[in-house]
Amino acid sequence: MKSNFKNFVGGMIAGIVLCVSFGVISEAVGADLNTSLPFTPQQLAIIKQVKLALSAYHVDGDKKGKIDDNKMYHGAVKGLVSSLKDPYTRYSDPKDLKEEKVEMEGEYGGLGIYIASKEGRTTIIAPIEDTPADRAGIKPLDEIIKVDDKNVWGMESDEIVKLLRGPAGKPVTLQIRRKNVNKLIPVKIVREIIKIKTVRMEMLPDKLAYIKLNHFNMKSDAELAAAIAKAQKNNAKGIIMDLRNNPGGLLDVCVDVTSRFIPKGVVVGMRGRFEKANDTLYAKEGRANKLPLAVLVNEGSASASEIFAGAIKDYKRGKVIGMKTFGKGSVQSLFNLPDGSGIYVTIARYHTPSGFVLDHKGLTPDIKVAGEPKKNHKDDKQLQRAISVLKYEIKTKAKPKTKTTKK
């Protein structure tokens, strides 16, 4: 079995990726069959009896496609994985895994949201900027109760994702539960092909560069490098990095992005049960800029966003402003199975350079400011606070130092 060591630190598909080779599972399969099988002969016999009973006696068992060996097999593996009650340890069949890999490359069909199971509920981590979900008013921490007429309470996240996806142009209605709202909110959204542009940059007054980072995918570092270069060409005096509603992404990309601001040192550490799950990743030297920095975060900032903001905060490279982050701090590894399917296994939890473990806690910003992203910058309280903080820092640094002389 081939295994890719993929550290996923977002919700559904928002992941962090490193590639390492593991031989543990394949070696176990090659050992003595009787000693390597995870079940007793009696348990395996019972599984076979269950299948035979369903095939022979189920009232609809004679209908075409009802008794499907492949579906039973995938269902059995999924049940095995879900028994751990870890929402981030999950099984993906060949079709779904292929779609997920396309999504990580930056384009897929759907609504433009990332979801995760949080405290037993299907929670929206964040809508992606300028997607159908974003335009429909979906917010971080909204809970999905129904998809069309189907109640999804208690369903696994990957099953809900299948319901959310569909042909472009076809509408779907979500019943949303929102904090401090007494009744469910119906939200009708028309599906689109989602093309994720991860970085958007614009120059604000007073020569401040505003950079919105939507996701950490394969294009992000190159797009960010171009954005910073453009900002410097425009004589930017400071940078505001907006990670609000950024659900995470690829770990190697997160390290690359963080290296644009931190010249050296630890970016993130991981702690797990076995040697290769314990790792420390360092900033790549020679990439960092020295422009004053402010980072915006909120409840929709998860995983890779939390790693980035945590490193900035620990090194005092800039001020982190906004609300406490989502708190998704576990690391998933993707094990590719021979039939094209795969299992995402939680192998470790990550921590910031200071050793703070974010999982289920979230990162507390340096400056707490309530609010949410607004199309009109003047109405965006968090952004306006970041602008004022950055302007003050720039002004303070620009003041000439006065020398004192002893008399």
Measured in degrees and rounded to the nearest 5, phi and psi for residue 300 equal: -95, 5
Choosing from 86, 252, 314, 359, which is the catalytic residue?
314
CA atoms within 13 A on the CB side of 326: 34
CA angle 363, 368, 374 (to 5 degrees): 100
Query: For this structure, is 303 an active site residue?
Result: yes
Choosing from 328, 330, 341, 380, which is the catalytic residue?
328
Compute the Cα dihedral for 367, 371, 376, 378 and give only its sign: negative
What distance in Å separates the CA atoms of residue 325 and residue 320, rounded to the nearest whole number?
11
Buried b (16+ CB within 10 A) or exposed e, 28-38: eeeeeeeeeee
Q: Using an 8 Å Cβ cutoff, are 363 and 297 in contact?
A: yes
Choosing from 301, 303, 330, 333, which is the catalytic residue?
303
Going by C-beta distance under 8 Å and a sequence separation of 6 or more, which residues neighbour residue 394?
237, 238, 292
Query: For this structure, is 328 an active site residue?
Result: yes
What distance in Å separates the CA atoms of residue 367 and residue 392, rounded to the nearest whole number?
14
Q: What Cα–Cα distance (Å) separates residue 233 from each residue in 210, 212, 226?
A: 14, 18, 10
Task: Catalogue the active-site residues.
Answer: 303, 314, 328
